[in-house]
Amino acid sequence: MKQEPAAQNSPPASPPSSQPLSEDDDPQALWIFGYGSLVWRPDFAYSDSRVGFVRGYSRRFWQGDTFHRGSDKMPGRVVTLLEDREGCTWGVAYQVQGEQVSKALKYLNVREAVLGGYDTKEVTFYPQDTPDQPLKALAYVATPQNPGYLGPAPEEAIATQILACRGFSGHNLEYLLRLADFMQLCGPQAQDEHLAAIVDAVGTMLPCFCPTEQALALV
């Protein structure tokens, strides 16, 4: 997976509506956009992967998690997408083809929908290396209508909750750190003020905290 910083400082303008989206006309192929744990742990077979972004959405730690990163008594905080005209969310798109399509969707239905409370939504994904060749992709989004939705809270409160929670997939802090690490790899043009504020809040609570691989080894 290529993760070199792109030359542009901001997302390119949206293509004209008449411009076809690359590689989307093959019914045997599907792109799946991940912006949370899928960026480092997809856990399904895929044919290709590309780092890039979607426009019109911001990432927020507003979804509760009682399985992967928390419990019924202490729900963790994981990310969802919030519609935002000025927003830009970086992540990874995975292409699945042939038999991979049904297997990936079956797996993700359990992981994201049944256990996570997410619905599916079609988004336009701009690859980092070729932003002028956007792709249609499937994204999993948690809406306020699902029972696990926690909604907004001060970044300090979110950080406190993250530090206290652990689920079957590991500590909630690991989730935060791995996502922050991914954003650093995307380069300086990849910004997420909400994520950065939560990381900073964790830093004030843990004076020796440093979001590095060494820190990841502790959770």
Active-site annotation, residues? 112
Q: Which residue has the tokens 């691989």?
A: 213
What are φ and ψ of residue 183, in 5° steps?
A: -65, -35
SS3 96: strand
Give 174's Cβ-side CA count (13 Å radius): 17
Determine the Cα–Cα distance for residues 191 and 112; give it in Å rounded to an integer: 25
Measure Cα distances from 48 to 70, 173, 215 in Å: 31, 29, 30
Strands 48-65 and 119-127: antiparallel
